[in-house]
Amino acid sequence: MIDRYTLPEMGRVWSDEHKYELWCRVETLVLEAHAAAGRVPADVVEPVRNAPPPTPARVAEIEETTQHDVIAFLTAWADNTEPRSAAAYVHHGMTSSDLLDTALAVQLTDATDVLLAKADRLVAALRDHGLAHRHTIKVGRTHGVHAEPDVWGHRVADLAFAMARSRDRLRRAREAVGVVAISGAVGTYSLIDPSVEVTVAVALQLRAADASTQVVLRDGISEWVSALAIIATVCEAIALEVRHGQRTEVRELSEAFGSGQKGSSAMPHKKNPIRSERIAGLARVVRAAIVPVMEGIPLWHERDISHSSTERVFLPDAAITTDYLLHLTAGLVENLVVDAERMRANL
């Protein structure tokens, strides 16, 4: 996602620097479990634990030759290990997907925690705004046409409960993606003991996969992306209400307009619902992630990597965009201008 819509905390979750930190952490936990079981020399753990993560630039440089990101990472990290011979035991018994899927589970759960905090803020903003306007009389509309009298707080309450349900849906999806799979080639544990997977899962505060082949089946990740898309679409529903209410012919609602803010390069006097329209546009970006990610569920046999390139784009983008949408929508609600007199006049 472009910097314009990336907030710092979520951007950090998906940065290459953080990714390689997580890869180092996962590999170190596996090595520690092997050493505790006596499968590798105990004295190799400390040098590996102390080796700094490789820089993204160095990994990218090596990948130009290897054409394999995990091998490039392991090579670059080994170069940072002193003595380098200790690095020979890193990745023992593992396959690339063990590292990739387990680290991705940490990223997904970390991203979810950031999103849940922002969803809590939005639910609270909607709740407080709805209660503040429980006696603000307005006309109810169906098909965009005047229907029966209503109160503004009633309409807001419906949106507040929708966002609360969406938040809870995401909380359930966190469980679906918080899965560790360290089972070796094609998931048979032939070169790695199942106890390693359990040990790493406990250390990461996640759960071991019920079963995996060489990858974690993507139904959980698809559920997570779908939960994000629903959140984004509820944000759009809130924004749509404001967009209609800010029309000149209606003038019941309006976004906050800051000092020095301009509405148009040609007509700077205008006050346009630009935040609401940005929310509507970005919700489309999140919804667009559902089908490509879901198509990662059917892979060839124990695995292929057709899901990999898709997820490199859509998972960070969906999380970063939803994070920005929640932030933008909460600010919209917290600063929303309600013209109660105009509502009564329209009624």
Q: Any catalytic annotation for residue 264?
A: yes
Q: Do residues 216 and 179 lie in contact, with contact meaning Cβ atoms separated by under 8 Å? A: yes
Gap between the Cα atoms of 213 and 302, Å rounded: 5
Q: How distant is the alpha carbon of residue 256 from its chain centre? A: 28
- Tokens 């469980």, residue? 175
With CA atoms as reference, report the closest residue to 108 among 220, 212, 219: 220
Q: Kindly list the distances between the CA atom of residue 4 and the CA atoms of 1, 123, 167, 321, in Å, as whole numbers in the listed order.
A: 8, 25, 25, 10
Gap between the Cα atoms of 328 and 173, Å rounded: 23
Q: Any catalytic annotation for residue 85?
A: no
Gap between the Cα atoms of 87 and 97, Å rounded: 19
Which residue in 143, 265, 269, 301 is the catalytic one?
Answer: 143
- Tokens 């898709």, residue? 310
Query: Which amino acid is it at 324?
Result: Y
Q: How distant is the alpha carbon of residue 174 from its chain centre? A: 10
What does the angle CA 32 – CA 33 – CA 39 come to, to the nearest 5 degrees?
Answer: 95
Cis peptide before 83 (omega within 30 of 0): yes
Which residue in 195, 264, 306, 309 is the catalytic one?
Answer: 264
Q: Do residues 22 and 102 lie in contact, with contact meaning Cβ atoms separated by under 8 Å? A: no
Query: Which amino acid is it at 33?
Result: A
Contacts of 116 (CB under 8 A, 6+ apart): 167, 170, 171, 174
Handedness of CA 336, 340, 346, 347 (dihedral sign): positive
Query: Which amino acid is it at 10?
Result: M
Q: Active-site residue numbers?
A: 143, 264
